[in-house]
């Protein structure tokens, strides 16, 4: 496979991986919210839980993705598998 193909496959795979991390974070945070916070919060505040959980899960997934990608970059020499960045 060419470097362009490898780059495209890496971007697609990393995007799918990031979405899966976000879904997992959302499910875990929703479960924790439902078990721990919903019983003690008033009903007027409970409605803010779902949007807040979504925003936190997006931020958490990007943070985890960045950490995992840094570890990958330290272990693998990307230059021999992927093409260089194009300059504008």
- Compute the 3-state secondary structure of the chain and give helix, strand, coil in percent, each to the nearest 5: 80, 0, 20
The predicted-structure confidence for 5-53, as pLDDT tens digits, reads as follows: 887 888 899 899 999 999 999 999 999 998 998 888 888 888 888 899 9
| Residue with token string 């007027």 | 44
Distance (Å, rounded) from C-alpha 24 to C-alpha 2?
33
pTM of the model: 0.77
**Total count of residues recorded for the chain:** 88
The predicted-structure confidence for 57-78, as pLDDT tens digits, reads as follows: 999 999 999 999 899 888 887 7
Q: What are the residue boundaries of the structural domains of the chain, listed by start?
A: 3-77
Residue 51: Cβ-neighbour burial (10 angstroms; 0-12, 13-18, 19+) = exposed
């Amino acid at each position: 496979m060419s470097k362009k193909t490898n780059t495209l496959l890496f971007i697609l795979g990393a995007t799918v991986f990031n979405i899966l991390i976000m879904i997992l974070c959302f499910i875990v945070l929703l479960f924790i919210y439902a078990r721990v916070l919903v019983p003690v919060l008033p009903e007027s505040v409970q409605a803010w839980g779902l949007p807040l959980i979504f925003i936190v899960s997006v931020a958490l997934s990007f943070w985890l993705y960045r950490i995992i990608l840094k570890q990958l970059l330290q272990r693998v020499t990307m230059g021999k598998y992927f093409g260089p960045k194009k300059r504008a």
